Amino acid sequence: MGEFNEKTTCGTVCLKYLLFTFNCCFWLAGLAVMAVGIWTLALKSDYISLLASGTYLATAYILVVAGIVVMVTGVLGCCATFKERRNLLRLYFILLLIIFLLEIIAGVLAYVYYQQLNAELKENLKDTMTRRYHQPGHEGVTSAVDKLQQEFHCCGSNNSQDWQDSEWIRSGEAGGRVVPDSCCKTVVAGCGKRDHASNIYRVEGGCISKLETFIQEHLRIIGAVGIGIACVQIFGMIFTCCLYKSLKLEHY
């Protein structure tokens, strides 16, 4: 019986240190997950107003929430491990499972939206740009369109001719412009009055192809982070179950 207890105790100690190491890595991973979510929301959200679906935004929020819960859970996991409290281990396992599901959801949403993105942009981007640009109450769209055209050196959804359908251009409020000034290679007030190739950006595929590539790159990052961390958590759940079982054996 003494030999059995000694072996069990040795196994418990090993499991405790394995779980502690996992928790340290897990806490850092939570920080990384939260950072990716915040980075997407704070620095890369300028173009969200141009998207018809809220899926891109939802995946970023899920990662932020998951990252915060991961960091809190990591601390709980350390306490549960070294205090050898089985009730804390149960709570820790449940939180791991919730985070696991959240990150799987974020990864799946990113993948599904990745597949749908091209169709959504083709259906909605031109309408958004021509109907909302420089219209009251749509200042966010105006800013996003100007930034999109300048940052990606493009003009119009498919090409510069799209701007002929713009409510702003046709209303006369554009001051004689045929395209927004943000289409110009060198932006000065009124430069959009001339749509010659020497003056404005004329990119094959227009802004759709540029925006699609940009968002797809970020969806790949979000999906990879979500799925990657979720897979790592499987080991944490296994270690937790083993430690829980080991403590139960020692108790008897």
Whole-number Å distance between alpha carbons of 242 and 244: 5
Whole-number Å distance between alpha carbons of 214 and 210: 6
Whole-number Å distance between alpha carbons of 28 and 87: 25
- As given in the structure block, the two tokens for residue 54 are 């809220």
Q: Computed over its alpha carbons, how large is the radius of gyration of the chain? A: 26
b or e along 13-25 (b: 16 or more beta carbons within 10 Å of the residue's beta carbon)? eebbebbeebbee
Whole-number Å distance between alpha carbons of 241 and 211: 45
pLDDT at residue 15 in the model: 67
Residue 148 Cα to chain centre, angstroms = 19
Whole-number Å distance between alpha carbons of 155 and 129: 11
- As given in the structure block, the two tokens for residue 65 are 């929430």
Residue whose pair of structure tokens reads 């970020």 in the numeric block: 218
Whole-number Å distance between alpha carbons of 230 and 232: 5
Residue whose pair of structure tokens reads 């966010």 in the numeric block: 140
- Contact between residue 133 and residue 147 where contact means Cβ atoms under 8 Å apart: no
- As given in the structure block, the two tokens for residue 208 are 């759709």
**Tens digits of pLDDT across the chain (252 residues):** 333 344 446 656 676 677 677 777 777 777 877 887 787 777 666 777 787 777 777 777 877 887 888 778 777 777 766 776 778 778 888 888 887 887 788 778 878 888 888 788 888 888 889 899 999 988 889 999 999 999 999 999 999 999 999 999 988 888 899 999 999 999 999 999 998 888 999 877 789 888 888 888 878 877 777 777 777 778 777 777 777 777 665 444
Whole-number Å distance between alpha carbons of 94 and 66: 14
pLDDT at residue 145 in the model: 93
pLDDT at residue 49 in the model: 77
Task: Please tell me the pTM assigned to this model.
Answer: 0.71
b or e along 185-197 (b: 16 or more beta carbons within 10 Å of the residue's beta carbon)? eeeeeebbeebee
Closest CA to 46 of 117, 147, 114: 147
